[in-house]
């Protein structure tokens, strides 16, 4: 699938004189008084000074160690300050959060006592993380940020909202709950951010998002961010944005980060555990997220790993929110270093220490590969993504390679055999359908042959696989 540029949308190369399009109903986007530094003109700077942010924001960014803006920050921050509706597409871990975090902090009128901005995210953990980052950026400004999400008592949220907040960061379900109870008023919300926008506008969320947007100001500024923007989502986004500016800093490249190692290990159903445990023992990775297809397989693998004395814990949507919170806290703080997760952890999570992503079950589609592996290699750091691939999944591997324009290298593990004697039953030896014949898939990925065989599927290069 193509995440690439959509020529019909205006691009980000606008001049400093350029104005955002007049909105149809121009009642929106009141701005706070510009800070003295915003009034200064003509500064040429490479750091965050170039945006002429308030001294309070600049001070916070300095403390956060933000020195040079990333590409998406350099392009998107001026655009959002000019009031454009923006579609911001940039690779995972490139600081998209700070684009809107800085903007909202600087522009919101803190003298008013009602929500003026809403940020929507697909998972509770991501909503919390975004709220934390905005709170850190706004540390010296007195901006009040509320996090609104399900799975925890609604009463404290109601109390907080009653006290008056400026920015609400939320998951959609709980926002609707508050709207129905009349405990959240979005009628002054003139700036909306939809993070992980392609996920938020897909079938799972779109009805909720549409209803929520209906409660915000007409003529609002709507900002969409994601590492992936499939074409159908770009088309759909036009319903919610007004002449959006499409800012894609990796427009001619696939969205996947290429500065990490992309690897795979051949497995059969019976050797998946062997492959995983051998890999972990051999490589001793730092912080690792292991992705499983289902909640039950995440539970099962988490359980087995604990028994084997790995510092691991399952993380998925069937756990209580308290449990999810404590697992995430342990992972961030390092008391566990392996998260055995479903795709709940695939989008948005920013844990800089994550050195490895392991696809215990491969993702269903290449877009999910982009997001999963994007949990490592944050903000230009190194990282490794390893996928356990069964013979029947070689087609999927090929799809991922083509979509992401990457080549996955096969990992050789000492003493590891991908297909064991008893797998022959699984493959159906009576029909003669042994793994050798399954290797036709290998060729289909368009690149297997150049690796000269099946790696450690057969040790010693001949005969039947040994146990």
Q: Which residues bind ligand CDP (CB under 6 A)?
A: 66, 69-70, 73, 90, 92-98, 350, 352, 378-379
**CA dist., res. 402 & res. 466, Å (int):** 33
d(CA 132, CA 339): 21
Closest distance between ligand CDP and the C-beta of residue 215, in Å?
A: 26
- Closer residue to ligand CDP in complex, CB, 95/115: 95
C-beta separation of 97 from 170 below 8 A: no
* Residue among 112 and 379 whose Cβ is closer to ligand CDP: 379
Q: In terms of CB distance, is 46 or 112 closer to ligand CDP?
A: 46
Residue 267's beta-bridge partner residues?
390
Task: Kindly tell me the burial class for residue 213, based on how many C-beta atoms sit within 10 Å of its own C-beta (0-12, 13-18, 19 or more).
Answer: buried
Determine, following the binding rule CB under 5 A, whether residue 88 of this chain makes contact with Mg ion: no
Shortest Cβ distance from residue 80 to Mg ion (Å)? 15
CA 198, 203, 204, 210 torsion-angle sign:
positive
Q: What is the CA radius of gyration of the chain?
A: 24
> Smaller CB distance to ligand CDP: residue 312 or 385?
385
Decide whether 348 or 377 has the Cβ nearer to Mg ion. Answer: 348
As measured in angstroms, the least distance from the Cβ of 431 to ligand CDP is 47
Tokens of residue 60, six digits: 């916070």
User: For ligand CDP, which is the closer residue by CB, 69 or 244?
Assistant: 69
Residue with Cβ nearer Mg ion (96 or 439): 96
Q: Beta strand 354-359 with 384-390: parallel, antiparallel or unpaired?
A: parallel
95 is in the binding site of which of Mg ion, ligand CDP, none (Cβ under 5 to 8 A by kind)?
Answer: ligand CDP
> Considering CB distances under 5 to 8 angstroms, the limit depending on partner class, which of Mg ion, ligand CDP, none binds residue 138?
none
Q: In this chain, which stretch among 31-39, 271-279, 327-335, 342-350 interacts with Mg ion, using CB under 5 A?
A: 342-350
CB burial of 417-441 (b: ≥16 within 10 Å; e: otherwise) equals: bbbeeebbeebeeeeeebbbebbeb
Angle of the 124-137 helix axis to the 55-63 helix axis, nearest 10: 120
Q: Which residue(s) pair with 87 in the sheet?
A: 224, 246
Q: Which part of the chain contacts Mg ion (CB under 5 A), choosing from 68-76, 94-102, 140-148, 265-273? A: 94-102
Contact yes or no for 94/72 (Cβ under 8 A): yes
Spatial separation of the C-alpha atoms in residues 110 and 108, rounded to whole Å = 6
Give min distance, CB of 110 to ligand CDP, in A: 23
Copy the structure tokens of residue 78: 């001026």
With contacts defined by CB under 5 A, name the span among 49-57, 91-99, 206-214, 428-436 that binds Mg ion: 91-99
Closest residue to ligand CDP: CB criterion: 95
Among 79, 71, 101, 2, CA closest to 245: 79
- Interface with Mg ion, residue 96, by CB under 5 A: yes
Per rule CB under 5 A, is residue 348 in the interface with Mg ion? yes
Residue 46's binding partner among ligand CDP, Mg ion, none (Cβ under 5 to 8 angstroms by kind) is none
Q: How far is the CB of 246 from Mg ion (least distance, A)?
A: 17
Rule CB under 5 A: which residues touch Mg ion?
Answer: 96, 348
């Amino acid at each position: 699938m193509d995440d690439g540029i959509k020529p019909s949308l205006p691009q980000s190369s606008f001049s400093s004189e350029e104005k955002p399009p007049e909105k149809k109903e121009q009642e929106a986007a009141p701005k706070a008084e510009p800070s003295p530094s915003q009034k200064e003109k003509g500064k040429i700077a490479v750091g965050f000074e170039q945006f002429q942010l308030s001294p309070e924001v600049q001070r916070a960014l300095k403390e956060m160690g933000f020195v040079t803006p990333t590409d998406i920050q350099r392009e998107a921050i001026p655009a959002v300050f000019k009031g454009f509706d923006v579609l911001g597409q940039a690779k995972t871990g490139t600081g998209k959060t700070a684009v809107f975090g800085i903007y909202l902090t600087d522009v919101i009128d803190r003298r008013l006592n009602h929500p003026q901005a809403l940020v929507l995210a697909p998972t509770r953990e991501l909503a919390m993380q975004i709220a934390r980052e905005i709170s850190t950026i706004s540390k010296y400004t007195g901006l009040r940020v509320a996090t609104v999400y399900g799975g925890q008592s609604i009463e404290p949220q109601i109390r907080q909202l009653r006290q008056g907040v400026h920015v609400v960061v939320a998951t959609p379900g709980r926002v609707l709950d508050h709207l129905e109870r009349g405990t959240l008023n979005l009628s002054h919300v003139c700036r909306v951010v939809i993070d992980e926008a392609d996920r938020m506008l897909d079938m799972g969320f779109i009805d909720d998002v549409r209803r929520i947007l209906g409660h915000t100001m007409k003529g609002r500024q709507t900002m969409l961010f994601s590492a992936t923007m499939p074409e159908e989502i770009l088309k759909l986004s036009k319903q919610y944005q007004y002449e959006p500016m499409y800012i894609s800093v990796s427009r001619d490249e696939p969205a996947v980060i290429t500065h990490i190692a992309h690897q795979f290990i051949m497995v059969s159903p019976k050797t998946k555990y062997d492959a995983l445990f051998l890999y972990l023992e051999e490589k001793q990775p730092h912080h690792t997220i292991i992705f499983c297809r289902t909640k039950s397989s995440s539970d099962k693998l988490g359980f087995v790993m604990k028994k084997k004395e790995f510092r691991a814990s399952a993380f998925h949507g069937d756990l209580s929110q308290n449990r999810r919170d404590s697992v995430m806290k342990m992972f961030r703080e390092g008391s566990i270093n392996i998260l055995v997760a479903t795709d709940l952890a695939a989008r948005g999570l920013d844990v800089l220490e994550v050195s490895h992503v392991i696809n215990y079950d491969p993702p269903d589609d290449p877009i999910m590969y982009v997001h999963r592996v994007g949990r490592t290699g944050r903000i230009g750091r190194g990282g490794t993504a390893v996928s356990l691939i069964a013979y029947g999944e070689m087609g999927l591997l090929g799809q991922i390679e083509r979509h992401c324009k990457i080549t996955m290298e096969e990992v050789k593990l000492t003493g590891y055999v991908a297909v064991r004697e008893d797998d022959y039953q699984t493959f159906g030896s009576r029909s003669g359908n042994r793994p050798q014949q399954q290797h036709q898939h290998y060729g289909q990925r368009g690149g297997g042959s150049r690796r000269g065989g099946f790696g450690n599927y057969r040790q010693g290069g001949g005969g039947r696989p040994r146990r």
